[in-house]
């Protein structure tokens, strides 16, 4: 009897991620949700530029690789091409979503574009070797902030969920993490809701996953998971930042 299997929505391609990287977990959660909702055949995923640039090899649904930061604009085109049938998700890192692609992020949220955004925030540029990200913490040492992020010189990190929650547009914004079993279960619930919202025509749903980067943080995978608890979560508190439908139900 098979008690634990690979989701159908994941391919057999070996992933290129570093040991201890959490992308594999989030990919699996997205794939499990696609399986459970039975939407693989009509789902089109948009991969970003960054560590998950080759996500198109790992998901079994149709995939598009977008220019850096432009995934929400590409997703907008795909969704508008066939709004009744296409289920569209983007999978983006912090540099992609919150730096070079911030305009596309904000405006697709403002339009309440009926898409699902999976946002991986690990406070660093992984693919290019560990540069300062828009979400790098104050004092965080990176390749391009070797003396620690000096907020007087290069400003403060951006809290994406909080910022977008000020907009009337988006339907659902939640921040989760995947550094332990309980948190992984919560993350899956949020991701499932973000896809279900799209199926129900509710609109823009973004799940921010606070993640790690053992390689570029210079830590063991275990230490990196702890660093999420000790450093990331105090700056990026978990929780639901917007849930328009739930609010309506309450009222």
Partner 1 sequence: MADKVLMKGNEAIAEAAILAGCKHYFGYPITPQTEIAAYMAKKMPKIGGCFLQAESEIAAINMVYGVASTGKRVMTSSSSPGISLKGEGLSYMAGSDLPCLVVNVQRGGPGLGGIQPSQSDYFQATKGGAHGDFRMIVLAPASVQEMAQLTVKGFELADKYRMTSMILADGTMGQMMEPVELDFEVKERPETPWATTGTKMEREHNIVNSLSLVAEELEKLNFERFERYKAVEENEAMYEEYMTEDADIIVAAFGIASRVSKNAINEARKQGIKVGLIRPITLWPFPKAPFEKAALTAKAFISVELSMGQMIEDVKLATGCKVPVTLCNRAGGMIPTPEQVLGAIIEAEKNGGAE
Site for partner 1 in 101-140 (CB under 8 A): 103-104, 106-107
31 binds partner 1 (CB under 8 A): no
* Least Å from the CB of residue 204 to partner 1: 14
| DSSP alpha helix (H) spans, the chain | 23-37, 71-81, 94-95, 102-110, 151-154, 160-164, 181-199, 214-217, 221-227, 233-235, 244-250
Interface map 85-104 toward partner 1 (x if CB under 8 A):
xxx---------------xx
- Which of the residues 10 through 29 are near partner 1 (CB under 8 A)? 11
Q: How far apart are CA 224 and CA 222, in angstroms?
A: 5
**DSSP 8-state symbol, 130:** S
End-to-end CA distance of the chain: 47
Q: Check residue 43 for interaction with partner 1 (CB under 8 A).
A: yes
**Rule CB under 8 A: is residue 206 a binding residue for partner 1?**
no
What kind and span of H or E run contains 90? strand 87-93
Q: How far is the CB of 73 from partner 1 (least distance, A)?
A: 4
- The upper half-sphere exposure of residue 86, i.e. CA atoms within 13 Å in the direction of its Cβ, equals 22
37, 195 contact by CB (below 8 A)? yes
CB of 115 to partner 1, least distance (A): 10
Token pair in block for residue 78? 């795909």
Closest CB to partner 1 among residues 11, 165: 11
* 188 binds partner 1, rule: CB under 8 A: no
Residue placing its CB nearer to partner 1 in the complex, 107 or 189? 107
Residues that bind partner 1 (CB under 8 A): 11, 40-44, 46, 53-54, 56-57, 59-67, 70, 73-82, 85-87, 103-104, 106-107
């Amino acid at each position: 009897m098979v008690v634990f299997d690979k989701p159908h929505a994941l391919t057999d391609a070996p992933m290129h991620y570093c040991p201890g990287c959490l992308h594999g977990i989030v990919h699996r959660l997205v794939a499990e949700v696609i399986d459970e909702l039975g939407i693989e055949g009509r789902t089109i995923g948009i991969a970003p530029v960054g560590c998950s640039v080759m996500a198109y090899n790992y998901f079994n649904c149709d995939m598009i690789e977008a220019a850096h930061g432009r995934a929400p604009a590409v997703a907008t085109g795909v969704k508008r091409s066939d709004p009744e049938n296409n289920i569209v998700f983007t999978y983006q890192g912090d540099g992609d979503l919150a730096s070079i692609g911030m305009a596309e992020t904000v405006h697709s949220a403002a339009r309440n574009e009926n898409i699902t955004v999976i946002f991986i925030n690990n406070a660093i540029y992984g693919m290019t070797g560990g540069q300062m990200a828009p979400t790098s913490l104050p004092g965080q040492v990176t390749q391009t902030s070797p003396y620690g992020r000096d907020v007087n010189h290069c400003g403060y990190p951006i809290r994406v969920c909080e910022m977008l929650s000020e907009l009337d547009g988006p339907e659902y914004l939640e921040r989760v993490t995947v550094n332990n079993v309980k948190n992984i279960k919560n993350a899956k619930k949020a991701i499932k809701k973000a896809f279900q919202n799209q199926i129900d025509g509710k609109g823009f749903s973004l799940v921010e996953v606070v993640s790690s980067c053992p390689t570029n943080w210079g830590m063991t995978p275990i230490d990196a998971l702890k660093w999420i608890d000790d450093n990331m979560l105090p700056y990026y508190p978990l929780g639901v930042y917007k849930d328009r439908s739930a609010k309506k139900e309450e009222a």
